[in-house]
Amino acid sequence: MSFKVKFWGVRGSIATPGPRYVAFGGNTSCIEVSCGGQRLIFDAGTGIRNLGHWLMKKNVHQAHLLLSHTHWDHINGFPFFSPAFKKDHHFTIMAGHLAEETGGIREVLASQMNQPTFPVPIDIMQAQLSFEDFKAGEVLNLGPDVRVVTTPLNHPDGATGYRVVHAGPASCYVTDPEHTHGKPA
């Protein structure tokens, strides 16, 4: 029944190294939620690099990666997520905000790893990567007792908010929403 949340990256826009940022770290968005025997990773900002090292150390071979959206600060760590380069690992990568003309989440993540802006293409990754686009608002069942309710957020290019429900309690990951005057969100 345990519900564990770990913050690997909490900054927005750009990583912020330096002594002023030691308390909460300088990495961009990446949150790990463990519940019901499942491991959910929210966003692949620069914080996912250290999470990747930790998963390798703990011999964890499987997780769901749920992206709020695909602005740089939420995906820039993905090319440095070391377990994705290892065989016998399996990651399901999901996003709910992308319009059809973007080509979907695989295409968007692959494009940031293309030359000449990055030297290692996504095809080099040896893990089994399953890419799944859904429509924000859908409910995702990610385990026998792990239900993830999603909702579209008001953000340029779209974004998805998540509510993870396990054995009663719930935990939400809702980042970057912009307020509309006269409305709650």
| Total number of residues that touch Zn ion (CB under 5 A) | 2
The alpha carbon of residue 148 and the mean position of all alpha carbons in its chain are separated, in whole angstroms, by 14
To Zn ion, the closest distance from the beta carbon of 176 in angstroms equals 5
In the bound complex, what is the minimum distance in angstroms from residue 115's beta carbon to Zn ion? 25
Which span sits near Zn ion by CB under 5 A: 17-25, 87-95, 143-151, 168-176?
Answer: 168-176
Residue 176 near Zn ion by CB under 5 A: yes
Minimum gap (Å) between residue 177 Cβ and Zn ion: 10
* Min CB(75)–Zn ion separation in Å: 10
Cα dihedral sign, 12-13-14-17: negative
49, 71, 89, 97: residue in contact with Zn ion (rule CB under 5 A): 71
**Segment interacting with Zn ion (CB under 5 A) among 89-97, 112-120, 134-142, 170-178:** 170-178
Long-range contacts, 23-30 (Cβ 8 Å, 24+): 27/77, 28/73, 28/74, 28/76, 28/77, 29/68, 29/73, 29/74, 29/175, 30/77
Query: Nearer Cβ to Zn ion, position 77 or 83?
Result: 77
Among the residue ranges 22-30, 132-140, 160-168, 173-181, the one whose residues contact Zn ion (CB under 5 A): 173-181
Pairing type for strands 146-153 and 159-165 reads: antiparallel
- Residue closer to Zn ion, measured from CB, 43 or 176: 176
> What number of helices (H) and strands (E) belong to the chain?
3, 10
Q: What is the number of the residue whose Cβ is closest to Zn ion?
A: 71
Question: In the bound complex, what is the minimum distance in angstroms from residue 111's beta carbon to Zn ion?
Answer: 17
Alpha carbon distance, N-terminus to C-terminus of the chain? 31
77 exposed, middle or buried (CB, 10 Å; 0-12, 13-18, 19+)?
Answer: buried
Structure tokens at 162: 């998540």
**Contacting positions for Zn ion (CB under 5 A):** 71, 176
